[in-house]
Structure 1
Amino acid sequence: MSRDYVAVNRELWDKDAPNWVEMGERAWAMETPEWGTWNNPDDGLHLLPDDMSGMDAIELGCGTGYVAGWMARRGARVTAIDVSAAQLATARDLAAQHGADITFVEGNAEETGLPDQSFDFAISEYGAAIWCTPDLWLREAWRLLRPGGRLTFLGNHPISLITSPEDGMPNDRTLHRPYKGMWGADWTTVAYEPSGICFNLTVADWMALFTRIGFEVRGYHELYAPDWAEGERAAIPAAWAKEFPVEQVWILEKT
């Protein structure tokens, strides 16, 4: 990837920020977390510890900040970083409305500038998990975590990428891209719902990267659309997403 994906993605999210305010308002108001494109319930996923009292936690690529808000509600001291000033403006407004004491930082999750071993827990729901280079942001997360600290992240499943047509049209049952050597995709010039530059790896390459950095896998989940789902979200048809995994969740521990 030769393009300046950080600048491309920052511009994307600054422009698109107004379209995410309503969704952010709904998520901040949730009593219990829901995850991903199809609002999967937290039952059995445990992306967040039930009790975060006394924990230092960071959200990497926070967008409108609702995950940071959920962590603050569970008792954590929360820092949240995002590359988009416009998204952070929404996050700060919503935090103020909900009385959440969160430290928001404008910056790149690949290079936060925050001190080593400052956090017990880190999370990314999309955010850094798809918009940052895996090798860079995962190494930064490892640096930020204390020994024994955990990182949870949710992003696109590799199957959702290889079954996505190159023009960005909704997923189907055809393999449109090679799995071997997967790095991600540039969605900036596609005909259907153009966006930014995202990253993904094969499952084997994710596992190898975790080992090189010093993470151990403590959990893995594949997320599908629930039975009630209809229509299409983020170019993913509900019928497709009930049979193929839309997203994956990795739960890692710093060793």
Structure 2
Amino acid sequence: MRKNRDYWNSVAHHWVEMGERQWNSPPNWGFWGETDDSFNLLPTDMTGMKVIELGCGTAYVSAWMSRRGANVTAIDISGAQLATARHLAKKHDVEIALIEASAENVPLDDSLFDFAISEYGAAIWCDPDRWIPEAARLLRPGGTLVFIGNHPMVWVETPPDGSPCEARFHRPYRGLNRADWTHVEFDPGGIEFNRTMEDWLALFRNTGFQILDYRELYAPNDSEGIAFSVPADWARSWPAAQVWKLQKQV
């Protein structure tokens, strides 16, 4: 967590422009910004719902939920990212409770929230064995957890030097757990986490979640270029992201 906090503090200024753009956009998901109409990840009417975003970055997802009527809390481990979020919340006159903390250890009471979401936040930068149980603790019985993160195929087909994905296996799928990108040649980053499908399912089952929906995101047919090390032509054949929608058992 310290390495990821330091990484995100160091690059936060690169994400201000994207944050501003997303604050001014309707909900959209994945590397190619597919509309929420395709996935329905957020309830259309969130009036009165208590929600939390886990690993909010510049908090544009929180802004989308607030505008739908939700009472929003958002956490992030990066103080620099939260500074951007506070600036944009003030600029857009959107009320969000912003807390500097890790999604692996949230300083809030049990069963406070109806809905939790992570969009490339805790979903990839936190250990699932820690943040998934923490999300379950924060949700009320019957509450919903939605998260979107890198598909395991992105990992197994990314070269060791961090260059863009290619249609070739570079690491084993079995035992998928964590990847340290801090010293790769291309676009060094932080430490990311993922799981095999079997391990995700076991984790949800052991944490008291049932699966409501699962989606795999591919690049649209008209997409071009490379988004976050994922080439569009690769992602038309291989899923770039996965979306889980879970419900805490009553």
Q: Which TM class, normalised by the smaller chain length?
A: over 0.9
Unaligned 5+ runs, structure 2: none
Of all paired residues, the percent bearing the same amino acid is 56
Of residues 40-49 and 170-179 in structure 1, the stretch that sits farther from structure 2 once superposed is 40-49
Match of 1:85 among 79, 87, 96: 79
- Structural mapping, 1:59-78, within 5 Å: 59-78=53-72
- CA deviation after TM superposition for structure 1 residue 242, in Å: 1.2
CA distance in 1, matches of 2:89, 2:30: 21
Residue aligning to 2:93: 99
- CA deviation after TM superposition for structure 1 residue 248, in Å: 0.2
Per-residue CA deviations over 1:104-140 (Å, capped at 9, x if unaligned) read 0001111011010000000000100000000100000
Residue aligning to 2:43: 49
Residue aligning to 1:220: 214
- Structural mapping, 1:4-153, within 5 Å: 6-30=1-25, 32-153=26-147
TM-score, normalised on structure 2? 0.98
Residue aligning to 1:201: 195
CA distance in 2, matches of 1:228, 1:115: 46
- RMSD in angstroms over aligned alpha carbons? 0.7
User: Across the two proteins, how many residue pairs are aligned to each other?
Assistant: 249
Contact persistence 1:124–1:153 (CA under 8 A): yes
Q: Does 1:179 align with 2:134?
A: no
Contact persistence 1:80–1:102 (CA under 8 A): yes
Residue aligning to 1:3: none
Residue aligning to 2:227: 233
- CA deviation after TM superposition for structure 1 residue 44, in Å: 2.9
Per-residue CA deviations over 1:120-167 (Å, capped at 9, x if unaligned) read 000000100000000100000000000000000000000111000111
TM-score, normalised on structure 1? 0.97
Unaligned 5+ runs, structure 1: 1-5
Deviating 4+ runs (over 3 angstroms): none
Q: Give the aligned residue type for 1:96.
A: K
SS at match of 1:171: coil
Q: Give the aligned residue type for 1:246.
A: A
CA distance in 1, matches of 2:222, 2:59: 27
Q: Give the aligned residue type for 1:223.
A: L
CA distance in 2, matches of 1:83, 1:73: 24
Per-residue CA deviations over 1:206-253 (Å, capped at 9, x if unaligned) read 011000000000000000111221111111111001111000000000
